[in-house]
A and B are shown apart, each in its own frame.
Chain A
Amino acid sequence: MRQYKIIFSGPVGAGKTTAIKSLSDIDVVATEARATDKVKEIKENTTVAMDYGRINLDAETTVHLYGTPGQQRFDFMWEILAQGALGLVLLIDCSVSSVIDDIDTYLSAFSNFAKTNSVVIGLTRSDLLTASDHLIPWDAIYKKLEEDDLSIAIFEVDARNKDDMNTLLEALILSIDPLVS
């Protein structure tokens, strides 16, 4: 049996659990608890250990999908979960003013992992920006990635949308091995 894993990380409320639900072949195992801190202003429940989903490719091959808890006090778990992973999917809520800081925080936290592995970024909740007649700050985002000398896939995604999540994973695979197809 060959087993592989892909990690989903990002701030609280960015859509990690939803993204895994969109991709998983099984019902997602979530370790949710009632939020007690600032998070309760965003949502009632939050992931405290990890989310787990699975893509079954055939009887012999499975890709496990792990979602890290979003709160920074659990950051000790992030790199532990990422060990041995094929790649990392960062989901960042682009409707908040801290979007650049959030990208910075998560890229720094996974900097060791990113040195030898592929990372893609999904910008979520852009529908909230459109509703308020705002645009994604592409300029600032691109500038940030350029400063870090990173040429990584960064797409607008709806975590509920399977096509979006498939495209993001496709970009992750082609970032690892562009000649595979």
Chain B
Amino acid sequence: MSPSSQKTLAGFIKTTGKKHFVLSDDLMPNVLIIDIDNTQGKQYLSHYQNSETKLITLSLAQQDDIPASVIQIQKPFTGVEILRSAEKIKELKTTSDLEKNKALKQSAINEQDRPDNKQPSLSSSYDPSTTFQGMLRKAIQLSDKENTPVLISIQQYRIEIHADNNTARLNFAKKRLRTLCQFPLTDQLCDITKITITSENSDNTTIALPELSLDVAILCSRGRLPKNMAIDALYQLKKWPNLTRWSQPESAIKIAGLWSKSPNTITNMARQLSIPIEHVYSFITAAIDSNLAKQCNGIAEVIPFKTEKNNTALFRKLLNRLKRA
């Protein structure tokens, strides 16, 4: 929004609205107020609308293509409307987890039943190039191509990429990656440069590149598929991720078990395993990004897995026992 509008709004929040809001520089705030009458605002909206952050949009006209969970305020607006929005957000927060789960399951069913499910629906796809996932890919490619370490700088966060020994060094705790992955990134916000002298700070966290790529892809995907990935293509799992220590999307062990048998499509895996397709989206996005899986060329085919009935009861009992223990 314009600097003057921003100043007026910030002033209001600091005074009359201080019971409802606290201004914050957090990259993953609870509430984000965005002016969507400009390109940058629209970009922020598309990135945050699938996150936990509650959104309030300011625009000259009501927009029909905005999800109902986003609160729209028409310009010119007054402080009363901002306060009403805060009340609405409080109400929205009381939505139970059960309802959320129901909605997720329903969306999975809808996704699988869509007759034109060659591509995921718009809300199930995203553009990785404007996320930390895309920036990381760029940096790894640069480090690999130029055979030199590369530094990614985003505000105070620094990530050194060493493609030669397949490691990365972070100047922050690994759990902070979540913050970086919530924030829409452009080349202006994210600096990627080749470096010669690397950091020797012992407080830095060193992690394997496949682990970093996997974590970042899961956090950026959030149950969506990158827009350039085809839902009906065949993908092959080449290597299992380290599921006891690295982040894992839901149903990861089941997906890996089936997928390691033969190349498979996304929809087929979700159908065979009876799991929400979002789980497969996250897993496949992460596996491709961390080079654990690949898209197959035309020659590959799905070999349907057939269960040998002899030991099914035993395996079911054993699995129940292992999960219960």
What B residues does A61 contact at CB under 8 A? 314, 317
Q: Is the CB of A151 within 8 A of B240?
A: yes
What A residues does B245 contact at CB under 8 A? 155-156
What B residues does A173 contact at CB under 8 A? 315, 318-319, 322
> Given A55-B318, A133-B206, A139-B166 in contact, is the A178-B243 Cβ separation under 8 Å?
no
- Separation of A57 and B317 alpha carbons in the complex (Å): 7
What A residues does B206 contact at CB under 8 A? 133, 135
- A-B contacts counted at CB < 8 A amount to 119
- Separation of A58 and B317 alpha carbons in the complex (Å): 9
Residue in contact with B325 in the complex, picked from A154, A162, A176, CB distance below 8 Å: A162
Q: Is the CB of B316 within 8 A of A180?
A: yes
Interface centre among A171, A176, A181 (most CB of B within 10 A): A181
Q: Is the CB of B305 within 8 A of A153?
A: no
- Separation of A181 and B322 alpha carbons in the complex (Å): 12
Residues of B within 8 A of A (CB-CB), count: 40
> Given A138-B208, A151-B260, A178-B254 in contact, is the A171-B243 Cβ separation under 8 Å?
yes
- Separation of A55 and B245 alpha carbons in the complex (Å): 25
- Separation of A175 and B259 alpha carbons in the complex (Å): 9
Q: Is the CB of B261 within 8 A of A178?
A: yes
**Chain A, residue nearest B255 (CB):** A178
B307 within 8 Å of A (CB atoms): yes
- Separation of A143 and B71 alpha carbons in the complex (Å): 51
Residues of A within 8 A of B (CB-CB), count: 41
Residue in contact with A168 in the complex, picked from B237, B244, B258, B323, CB distance below 8 Å: B244
A63 within 8 Å of B (CB atoms): yes
- Separation of A2 and B292 alpha carbons in the complex (Å): 38
What B residues does A145 contact at CB under 8 A? 239
What B residues does A156 contact at CB under 8 A? 242, 244-245
Residue in contact with A169 in the complex, picked from B237, B238, B258, B322, CB distance below 8 Å: B322
Residue in contact with B314 in the complex, picked from A2, A133, A152, CB distance below 8 Å: A2
Residue in contact with A177 in the complex, picked from B240, B311, B322, CB distance below 8 Å: B311
A179 within 8 Å of B (CB atoms): yes
Residue in contact with A138 in the complex, picked from B210, B311, B322, CB distance below 8 Å: B210
> Given A61-B317, A169-B318 in contact, is the A138-B242 Cβ separation under 8 Å?
yes
Interface residues of A in 56-97 (CB under 8 A from B): 57-58, 61, 63, 86
Interface residues of B in 286-325 (CB under 8 A from A): 292, 305, 307-308, 311-312, 314-319, 321-323, 325
Question: Given A138-B208, A177-B312, list of 19 further CB < 8 A pairs?
Answer: A57-B314, A61-B317, A136-B242, A138-B166, A138-B242, A142-B292, A145-B239, A146-B238, A151-B238, A155-B242, A169-B318, A170-B319, A170-B323, A171-B240, A173-B319, A175-B260, A178-B258, A178-B305, A180-B316
Q: Which 4 A-B pairs have the closest CB atoms?
A: A174-B257, A178-B257, A178-B258, A151-B260
What are 29 A-B pairs with beta-carbon distances under 8 A? Answer: A55-B318, A57-B321, A58-B317, A135-B167, A135-B207, A136-B208, A138-B210, A139-B166, A142-B210, A145-B239, A146-B238, A146-B239, A151-B237, A151-B239, A153-B256, A155-B242, A155-B243, A163-B244, A166-B322, A168-B244, A170-B319, A171-B240, A171-B243, A173-B319, A173-B322, A174-B319, A178-B254, A180-B307, A181-B254
